[in-house]
């Protein structure tokens, strides 16, 4: 059984957010995660975004997993594993009608995203 550690909640919005950054690969804006002590990430999607509608309309919760393949085993995969940044692989599943994101780092997160605030989650 894989272990899951809370990482963030992604909340779709149609309103521009302070400090949002554009993700050219995903064709969306993201804001808040790097500075939120609670791991809240606001997502605003470009009309050209190709992510599934479920991700664009329904909030998702994200967990860090040590073994992405094991976490995906037997699940309804919504977005297959992909690498949005060097050192990290993500995938989305559908759980009871809601999107859930799994994140696997190949090195410490602080090396992948050095501007992220430190969070302690047990």
Decide yes or no: CATH 3.10.180.10 for domain 4-112.
yes
Assess whether pLDDT exceeds 80 at residue 24. yes
pTM equals 0.90
Q: How confident is the model at residue 117 (pLDDT cuts 50, 70, 90)?
A: low
Task: Note the pLDDT of residue 120.
Answer: 46
Going by C-beta distance under 8 Å and a sequence separation of 6 or more, which residues neighbour residue 66? Answer: 2, 3, 104
Extents of the domains making up the chain: 4-112
pLDDT tens-digit map of 49-88: 999 999 999 999 999 999 999 999 999 999 999 998 899 9
Local structure of 63: helix, strand or coil = strand
């Amino acid at each position: 059984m894989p272990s899951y550690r809370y990482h963030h909640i992604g909340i779709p919005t149609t309103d521009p957010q302070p400090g949002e950054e554009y993700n050219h690969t995903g064709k969306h804006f993201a804001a808040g995660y790097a500075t939120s002590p609670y791991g809240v990430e606001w997502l605003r999607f470009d009309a050209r975004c190709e992510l599934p509608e479920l991700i664009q309309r329904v909030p998702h919760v994200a967990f860090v997993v040590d073994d992405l393949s094991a976490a995906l085993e037997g699940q309804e995969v919504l977005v297959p594993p992909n690498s949005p940044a060097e050192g990290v692989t993500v995938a989305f599943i559908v759980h009871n009608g809601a999107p859930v994101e799994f994140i696997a780092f190949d090195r410490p997160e602080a090396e992948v995203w050095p501007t992220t605030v430190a969070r302690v989650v047990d």
